[in-house]
Each structure stands twice: as C-alpha cells, then as structure tokens.
Structure 1
Amino acid sequence: MSAPKVLIIIGDAAEALDTLYPFFRIREDNYEVVVAGPEKRVYHLVMHEIPPGWDITREGPSYHMASDIAFRDVDPNEYLGLFITGGRAPEYLRYDPHLLDITRHFFTHNKPVASVCHGVEIIAAADVIRGRKVATVAKCALDVTFSGGTFVNEGCVRDGNLVSGRTWHDNHLFMAEFMRMLGEAAK
C-alpha cells in the first residue's frame, strides 16, 4: 500500500523556511510529499528577515527546489492534504486557475489544509475563508478581512479543515496541528 500523498505548493520566491520545514516534517511521518508549481521545473526559494532598524523584510536568495508536477496536471483526489507556503510566490500564484481549483477542492472535501504567511493570498483568492479565523503575517491581514475572514495574530489558528500560521517562526506550532489533522484524515 502506498503512502498517503500531501501536496506542497511552490513557485519562484517561495520562502525557504516556510517550504523546507514542512517538506521534511511531513515526510518524517511517512507521507509522500509531492511538490507542485506552475510548471514542472526548478524554482528559486528565498529567505526573508527583518534586519535591525527595518520595518519590512529583506529578501535574499536561498535554496532551489524542483516541482514534481505542474498545477494543471494535479488530480486533487489523489491527495490527503495541502500545504500552501509563503514568501512572494503567492502574489502571482493566486492568479493560476488550476491552483485555485485545487485549493477549492480541498475545502469542498474538508481535507486538511495548512497555510503560512503569504499563502493566505492563495486561499483568499480561492474564496474559501469567508467566516473563518485565519493567521497570517500582519501585513497580509487585509487579504483576510477583504475575503470575509477574521485575522488572528497567533502562531497557530485552526478553523475547521484549515490550520494557519503567521510566518516560519511559527512552524513548530501550526505544523504540529497539521500533522494531527493529517493523521486523523488518514484513518
């Protein structure tokens, strides 16, 4: 019997720690991780930090990650859960109609979804957070409220099948909950 599959969404400028921590953490519990991007190719991850005295993050180049599949080729019925990473990638990924359909599938079928940081831009664009409490980086709070959700400034917020966190600093909080959700869904 094959391991249940979890889909991770990436694109150029996906945040490295938002992406790599879940990539390895999900695999630790023997789930198959499938990385999806706009095309099947190598993507450039970035790292974000707020230098002393700055009000906004500074972005620098980081690792590279290959996607296993293009969004248009994903059959969401094959996946147990969905992880939507942050960074600047969601700014343009949210316009991909295939990704929005994939995202809606997970909410329609009440499958586990995790979103961190700017990942909220994708779930907001998919119009699946109305009436939900959602955590994200504070500068994306407007995406939540404009989409009918309630912004919560906490490291782990679960509302139904969605668990969300603010930034990679919260990985240890919301990923623990996401792993519980995957375990429950796999039974």
Structure 2
Amino acid sequence: MGRRAYAATLAAPGLLLAVVGLFHPHHLSPATADRWFALHLPGLVVFPLVGVALAALVGRRTDPVAWLVRLAAYTYATFYTALDVVSGVAAGWVTRELGPGVPRPDEVRLLFRIGTPLGEVGSWALLVTVVVLVLDQVRRHGVRAAGGVLLLPGAWLVHTEHIFAPGGVVGTVLLAAGTAALALAGTRSGAGRS
C-alpha cells in the first residue's frame, strides 16, 4: 500500500465519525430515537477503529512507549464502545420501542448513568493515547510529525463534545487529519510501519 493510501486508510475512521456526527441528535427523545439508535450501530465498528489507527502508528515496535500507546488505544476503544452500546444502542432502542408520547422511564436514565462514566474512561484514554503518541512521533520524526499535534485538540473536543456537531465533528476531523499526518511522517522517514 502506498503511503498516501495508508494515511487515508488510517484517517478514514475519524472522517466516518465526523459524517455520523453531522446527523447525530443532541438529545434522545421519542422523536429522535430512530436516528439515535441507527447512528450508534456503525459506531460499534468505527469507534474502535480510531484506536486501531492510532495504535498502528507505532508499527511493530516493542518498546515501552509503543506498548503504552497500544494499551491506551485499547482502553479507549473498549470503554468508548461501551458508551456507544449502552447510551447509544440500548437507550435509543428502548426509547424507540416505548413509542411517542411515553415519558422516558427511569430505566433509560439509568442507562445513561452507567454509559456516561464508561465514556469518560474512554475519552481520557484517548487523550492519553494522543499525548504519548504525539510526543513519541515528534521525538522520532521531528518537524515532519508536526501535523500530529492536531490530535490533541481533536481528542479534547471528542472528550468534551462527543461527536455532536459542531465541536465533536471538528474533533473527529482533527483526529483524522492528525492521524494521517503522523502516518505520512512515519512513512516518509521509513519507520511508519516497521
């Protein structure tokens, strides 16, 4: 795979989340439940792929920093997917099945009570991943890795805004751009996938 195709492949999950975020309702209600539920289904696949893409940037390295990036990316992927399952798929499904005119029961609120802290763990793990990764890549590739700093505001916006438009959409685009920049920096120096 060519270096541009490799960078585009690693950027794709962030860009897909940005598209989903453009249509993501800001609140779950009987009127938005169908869309809420439907948009969280692709999240089951795409949210973890952001972590996979970030972990891929350390290649096959076996040093402690590479393993820290992988572990933090795995933690993000696991816990943020749990948020997607509980607060997205499950809460959306239950609200949709209750139908219009039915007040949201406490059981749906309880789903958010567990989903939100799971997502917090995931989003903090994403922040750890990108901080360690950016420091590592700048140390290894110098100024060629400068575009990777886009990961930092991207992860912060996902932490504070999820993928809700506009902030969360901007965050996922920045994650995609920063990932692509680091992929290009690594392949230019010959160390991208080794």
The TM-score bracket by the shorter chain reads: 0.3 to 0.5
Larger Rg: 2
Structure with the higher strand share, 1 or 2: 1
Structure with the higher helix share, 1 or 2: 2
What is the TM-score of this pair, normalised by structure 1? 0.33
